[in-house]
Amino acid sequence: MLMSDRCLPWMTLKSKSSAIKEKSKSKSPTMKEKTKHFKKRRGLWKPRKQPRVEFTYLKYPDLDPEVAVECSDSLLLGDNEDELEVDPILLTRIGQSEPVFTYKRPNGTAVVYRLESLVDYMLIAGKFHEPESHLTFSDQDLKDIDRLTYQAGLDKESVYKAKYGLAFKYAQIQFDQNAAVGLERCCGELVGRIPDILTESETRDEGQIILLTEIFPHLRHYFMQLEQLDSQYAHVSLKQFAVFIEGPPNRPYIDEHELLPLCFAFFDELAQ
């Protein structure tokens, strides 16, 4: 071998196999790696939780500690603890002694609900379907809920009887809810025009005329009907309207002609 060959840098003497390995390492990242990198840059990625051995002891109290650690690693019982013990309606933990109802969806997944909150949801709202997926409960599901409620000693009405015996009552509740939402949207459409009036009116008189003749009369008409249906909903909406016409805190609307005090005075009149 020539002296010049021995003097070459070691990079030029790498074997063909090592070059292939280096090339394979430089492949484009997978979608999973890209997602992980994206979340890391924005602080959204979190490392995998360590399995909680305490949860394994709870499910298997007679299990040896070393075996419990292995079960936690393989079954990841600790990672699923939150999913199993949080009520989807109230978003609170379900106690070990609290009665539950497990609903199996057509796709095979199962959802655990606190029995009391599920019954209250159906009896108050009149919606006899699963709150998350809106899949309608079958008559057998409702009978099972009634049976579990009776066995748990909960003083609740029958959801099966309520669905068919109080159909007119729940139909009226649903009609009132739909009417209230529709009236709130009518009010919102009128309130949505106020920022344009504040910023685009050439004179104060022009803005006042539009507000007093086109916006306020129709807004009063819809708001009074909404207040009759649901007073609390109406006044909460009114507070939101007042916040909206001011604009964002970092960029409020320019009230060149000082029309906002007129609008706030009208809202105060409606709130009385």
The last residue of one of the domains, among 96, 131, 165, is: 165
Question: 78 pLDDT exceeds 90?
Answer: no
Q: What is the pLDDT of residue 193?
A: 93
Give backbone dihedrals phi and psi of 96, rounded to 5 degrees, phi first: -65, -30
Residues 68 and 96 in one domain: no
The last residue of one of the domains, among 85, 100, 131, is: 85
Residue 157 region by backbone torsions, left for phi larger than 0, else alpha for psi between -120 and 50, else beta: beta
Residues 200 and 180 in one domain: yes
46 against 65, higher pLDDT: 46
**Is there a domain that residue 52 lies in?**
yes
Q: Using the 8-state DSSP alphabet, how is residue 77 labeled? A: T
* 112 bridge partner residues: 102
* Nearest by Cα to 112 from 148, 73, 138: 148
Residues 93 and 76 in one domain: no
**Is there a domain that residue 79 lies in?**
yes
Residues 216 and 241 in one domain: yes
**Is there a domain that residue 98 lies in?**
yes
pTM (two decimals): 0.52
Residues 131 and 219 in one domain: no
* Nearest by Cα to 179 from 111, 230, 104, 114: 230
Among the ranges given (63-77, 156-170, 193-207, 215-229), the one the predictor scored with the smallest mean pLDDT = 63-77
Residues 267 and 186 in one domain: yes
The whole domain housing 50 covers 30-85
Residues 240 and 252 in one domain: yes
Which amino acid is it at 22?
Answer: E
**Is there a domain that residue 246 lies in?**
yes
pLDDT digits (tens, 9 = 90+) for 206-216: 999 999 999 99
**Is there a domain that residue 6 lies in?**
no
Report the length, in residues, of the chain.
272
Which amino acid is it at 242?
Answer: A
The CA distance from 114 to 29, in Å, is 43
Place of tokens 């390492």: 25
**Across 163-173, average pLDDT:** 83
pLDDT digits (tens, 9 = 90+) for 85-95: 789 999 889 98
**Is there a domain that residue 39 lies in?**
yes
In total, how many domains does the chain have?
Answer: 3
Question: 203 pLDDT exceeds 50?
Answer: yes
